[in-house]
Amino acid sequence: MFDDCRVSELSSQVTEGFSALAGMEPIPVLPALRAIVPGGGLRPGTVTGVDGSTTLALALAAGLGDRWCAIVGLPEAHVLAATAFGGEDGGLDPTRVLLVDDPGRRWADVVAALTDGCAMVLVRPPEEPPAHVARRLTTLARRNGCALVTTGPWAGAALRLRVETNHWSGVGDGTGHLRGRRALVAVSGRGAAAPGHRVWLWLPGPDGAVAVAEHEGPARLEAVAG
């Protein structure tokens, strides 16, 4: 898929790419996630690492609107979880998702092919990608207007989002059912506005939407249970 002349041609475009970067439209995210994603969206060609929560990774794709999203190497991801994350605006449209459950050794070629057409590729590489593979993928993604989100290790990730604490509400001792979850998300990486910044999010809230949670500290389980 990558031959040498193509790579050298691409790397010459990288310099042009940097100048073009300023004018590039960011990939939109849900309004509630602007608290953790600087600039109102993910810049094409950047890698966002998500740790500890598949829900948060899917939530990043829930603001895509009529753009397409691909999920590579996460056979267990359940796209229907994110369909209502945007509240009244809907959320992730499952019919605009492509799933590649088992890309095997050729995962990088698969991601490279999917950056052309999809606005976001969510990938869990089987191992940490070598630097040259990561560079190729981000270059292609930048050129094609695609943001990469990974739930695996990725050294060059510009933004890292980590769910540190979860508080579920709705379930008591044998009663109720899961309704909402408040999650403490820690933001780090060179792309973060204020590294080390922490935000409480409803992931999702009792109404099914992702929102910023006002109160910190443990949820009042008793009040919501039932």
Partner 1 sequence: MTVPRVLVVWCPDWPVTAVGLEASTPAAVVASGRVAACSAAARAAGVRRDQRLRDAQRHCPDLVIHDRDPDAEGRLFETVAAAVSAITPWVEVVRPGVCAIPVRGAARYHGGTDRDTAEESLRIHVQDTVVERGFDCGVGIADGLFAAELAARTANGGLIVPAGGTADFLAPYPVSVLDRPELADLLPRLGIRTLGAFAALPARHVAGRFGTDEVRAHRLARGLDARPPAPRPPHTDLSVTTEFDPPAVAAEQVVFAAKTLAEHLHEALATEALTCVRIGVEVTDAHGRTQSRLWRHDGALSALAVAERVRWQLSSWETSPDEEGVGGIVSLRLLPDQLVPDEGRQEALWGQVTVSDRIMRAAARVQAMLGHQAIVRPFPVGGRGPGERVVRVPVGDLPPKPGASEGQWPGRIPDPAPAVVHPEPLPVRVTGADGAPVTVSARCVVSAPPRQIEIAGRVLPVTAWTGPWPARERWWDPARFRRRARFQVVTADGGARLLIVEGGNWYIEADYA
List residues binding partner 1 (CB under 8 A): 1, 52-55, 57-58, 68, 70, 75-84, 93-104, 106, 109-110, 113-114, 116-118, 165-168, 171-181, 204, 208, 221, 225
Concatenating the DSSP letter of every residue in 104-117 gives: GGGHHHHHHHHHTT
Taking the least distance from each CB to partner 1, the nearer of 113 and 199 is 113
Rounded Cα distance between 12 and 224, Å, is 57
Taking the least distance from each CB to partner 1, the nearer of 46 and 53 is 53
Axis-axis angle for helices 131-144, 107-115 (nearest 10): 20
Kindly give, in sequence order, each residue whose CB lies less than 8 Å from that of residue 16, ignoring residues fewer than 6 positions away: none
Q: How far is the CB of 154 from partner 1 (least distance, A)?
A: 19
Taking the least distance from each CB to partner 1, the nearer of 13 and 83 is 83
Q: How far is the CB of 133 from partner 1 (least distance, A)?
A: 15
Q: How far is the CB of 31 from partner 1 (least distance, A)?
A: 19
Rounded Cα distance between 63 and 194, Å, is 23
Q: How many CB atoms lie within 10 A of CB 98?
A: 13
What is the pairing mode between strands 176-188 and 198-202? antiparallel
Q: How far is the CB of 104 from partner 1 (least distance, A)?
A: 7
Taking the least distance from each CB to partner 1, the nearer of 156 and 179 is 179
Q: How far is the CB of 123 from partner 1 (least distance, A)?
A: 13
Which backbone phi and psi does 41 adopt, to 5 degrees?
Answer: 180, 175
Kindly give, in sequence order, each residue whose CB lies less than 8 Å from that of residue 107, ignoring residues fewer than 6 positions away: 72, 73, 123, 125, 126
Taking the least distance from each CB to partner 1, the nearer of 128 and 207 is 207
